[in-house]
Amino acid sequence: MLDNKKVFELNDDELDCVSGGTALISANTNRVAFSTTREIFSFKNCTYRQVRDLCESLIGEYPTEAEYDAACKAALKEKGWI
């Protein structure tokens, strides 16, 4: 499902084709990907919705996609979700 806030729900095939500079989240596989670094992490101890809400809360806070991706990754790690 495409959302106007740069957060997407992807299936396995789509998650493997990450590009562009956004946080991509798969509810089906409990994975989050960061396209600027091409990293994919499984999330745990949280729901898809919690990951999505955290990533959405950081939208517009950083001047570049790489900084946004880094902030999302750091926040998810801090919570112990990835």
Handedness of CA 7, 51, 72, 38 (dihedral sign): negative
Q: The pTM is what?
A: 0.71
Q: What is the dihedral of CA 40, 42, 47, 52, to 10 degrees?
A: -10
pLDDT single digits (tens) 6-51: 445 545 554 444 333 578 898 899 999 988 888 999 999 999 999 9
The first and second tokens of residue 7, run together, are 């957060």
Position 23 scores a pLDDT of: 81
Helix, strand, or coil (residue 64): coil
Q: Which residues pair with 41 in a beta bridge?
A: 32
